[in-house]
Amino acid sequence: MGRIFGGLGLVIVIIVAIVAYSGLFIVNQTQQALVLRFGNPVRVATEPGIYAKIPLIDNVVMLDKRLLDIDSPPIEVIARDRKRLVMDAFGRYKIVDPLLFYQAAGSVQVAESRLAVILNSAIRGAAGQMDFSSIVREGRARLMQQITEQVQREGKRLGVDVVDVRIRRADLPPENSQAVYQRMQTERQREATEIRAQGEQAARTIRAQADRQATVIVAEANQRADEIKGDGDAQRNRIFATAFEQDPDFFSFYRSMQAYQDGMKSDTTRMVISPSSPFFRYLTDPSGNALAVPERATPGTPAPPKAATPAPPKAVTPAPAATEPAPAATP
């Protein structure tokens, strides 16, 4: 009899333990709970802790308090300028009203499906108000802000708060991308050709200006050189004229010595000259009055240049200094 009561007591204890365990549920810091009684919500637990429920009657639905994802598949939209493009977006949301969320959606899967539809509709509506260039360039941030605001308004009906929406991709359809890339490449090549042509034209202009300046500089330099040379020649002629006026005989002797030096310094020069030429007069007579009449013309004697032929001097007695260079001039 005692064994029967002992076994019955053990069974009762086990049943009580099971009932007590099923009458409690735990909510951690990342969750919020919705208590259902016969399928109808009766209580919401949003703070972490241990809560009680009626065993076998109440049911608990756990919902996540963290940020959840909205992932929209790529969709094709039409911009305001009638250009088509493919857009892919995603969002972040969190459940802020578990009761409304359960009543409107029933589960996370259903809520995310409805949010994806809302997101796609918002993308099409916002993209249709902007041009293609604005969507892919400077207007992208404004587009995401418009989509986020529209999805937030629709998400409040589901008991969720849409925190942010981002555009992952906004490109042309695959069938149009190649044509656009080809057109862009052609435009870039045309711009590069124009820039090269402008550079070559600028280079030609610079070279022409430099050549013109160089020609002017060289012409001015040549003119200045001619002026300096002319001044030098005039000064030389004045010096010669002055020397000739002071002593014509010595001047004639000096010019003859220069003619000998210029005409006889090369061993490869062959000249034919008359023996009675005044060219040899200072070789035989330092005074220059007598003409040298050699027996025969020495081969290899160079002919003096025309400018070196001196004028016949006046019949005057040569100065003693003029007789000294005569022996050195004798071949």
- CA–CA dist 150, 158 (Å, integer): 14
Residue 269 — very low, low, confident or very high, per pLDDT cuts 50/70/90? Answer: low
At residue 209, the pLDDT reads 93
176-185, 216-225, 277-286: least confidently modelled range: 277-286
- Measured over the CA atoms of residue 314, residue 319, residue 323 and residue 325, the dihedral's sign is negative
Task: Indicate the pLDDT class of residue 267, thresholds 50, 70 and 90.
Answer: low
Q: What percent of the chain has pLDDT over 70?
A: 78
Do 113 and 63 touch, CB atoms closer than 8 A?
no
Residues ≥6 apart with Cβ < 8 Å to 95: 32, 63, 64, 65, 68, 101, 159, 160
Residue with the two structure tokens 């969709």:
75
Per-residue DSSP letters for 241-289? HHHHHH-HHHHHHHHHHHHHHHHSS-SS------TT-GGGHHHH-TTS-
Check pLDDT > 60 for residue 327.
no
How many beta carbons lie within 10 A of that of residue 248, not counting itself?
15
CB distance 32 to 63 below 8 Å: yes
Distance between CA atoms of residues 123 and 125, nearest Å: 6
Which class for 62: exposed (0-12), middle (13-18), buried (19 or more C-beta within 10 A)?
middle
Handedness of CA 7, 12, 13, 19 (dihedral sign): positive
Model confidence over 106-146: pLDDT tens digits? Answer: 888 899 999 999 999 999 999 888 888 888 888 888 889 99
Tracing tokens 């010096």 back to the chain, one arrives at 239
| Residue 319 in this model has a pLDDT that exceeds 50 | no
pLDDT recorded at residue 1: 57
Lowest mean pLDDT among 80-94, 135-149, 243-257: 243-257
Over residues 313-320, mean pLDDT: 38
